[in-house]
Amino acid sequence: MTRYATTLHIRFTTLVQRCVRKESGASLVEYVLLVSLIAIALVVAVGFFGNALKNEFDDIGTSVGNA
């Protein structure tokens, strides 16, 4: 997950740098910030709920396997 976050950060930084050079990129920067916040929220949610979801899917897999 750390590699993914690093890659996401590098792509975001590169995109912001490109947009800052252009005045017409103001709305694009806003969209990039919005998408970045959503991506961060998803990473945090997966980190928080990851083990619980894994256990649920393991239980489902076991039930299906025993059927």
1: three-class secondary structure by DSSP: coil
pLDDT for 19 equals 67
Mean pLDDT of 53-62: 89
| Residues 6+ away with beta carbon under 8 Å from 12 | 32, 36
Confidence (pLDDT) at 38: 92
Say if residues 12 and 32 touch (Cβ distance below 8 Å). Answer: yes
More confident residue, 2 or 61: 61
Q: Which residue reads 């919005």 in tokens?
A: 34
Reported as half-sphere exposure (CB side, CA atoms, 13 A), residue 47 has a value of 10
Question: How does pLDDT run across 15-38, given as a tens digit for each residue?
Answer: 777 766 665 556 778 888 889 999
